Amino acid sequence: MRSMSAGARLTFDSNILIYAADRDAGPRHAAAEALVARAAYTDCVLTLQALAEFFAVATRKKTVSTASAIAFVDGWQNVFRTVSATPESLRAATHAVRDHRIEFWDAMLWAVAREAGCRYLLSENFQAGRTLEGVTFVNPFAPGGLPEEVERALGEG
């Protein structure tokens, strides 16, 4: 894997992973699949939570077969480092719920991303463009495409 510049680590929410796997998701599938492929050559981590949510949603909604969902999770874990919640990330998440009115599971994802040193969290579930304690929320499907700094972080792929 190619190393990114310091402070440009990124991660994906489970919705990006779902779109990357869902061939019926139209333009979002193509965009998410390309993002994940480009991220494989960068300093990208995946949270255990996002992988677990991907598996649960993909198999519940029959986005892909159980065997395919397992293959996606296994493949992503072979490419990306997986980071997990800690007692400190739980504390930060509960404070984010209180102080910033973020839904709990989104707050957990943010807290783990922050703890892992991520600068960007790509998701369609957060307030795009908002930066919270060093983590900027980016909606990769927003009109106008990815912000220039995220494009630079992703490099050529």
- Which DSSP state fits 75? H
Contact 14, 54 (CB under 8 A): yes
The Cα–Cα gap between 42 and 11 comes to: 10
Burial class (CB in 10 A: 0-12, 13-18, 19+), 104: exposed
98, with CB counted inside 10 A (0-12, 13-18, 19+), is exposed
pLDDT greater than 80 at residue 3: no
**What structural domains does the chain harbor?**
10-154 (3.40.50.1010)
The pLDDT-based confidence of 156 (bands split at 50, 70, 90) is low
pLDDT in tens, 94-121: 999 999 999 999 999 999 999 999 999 9
Contacts of 124 (CB under 8 A, 6+ apart): 13, 15, 16, 139, 140, 141
63, pLDDT greater than 60: yes
Number of Cβ within a 10 Å radius of residue 138: 23
Nearest to 141 by CA among 30, 54, 46, 59: 30
Average pLDDT, integer, range 6-12: 79
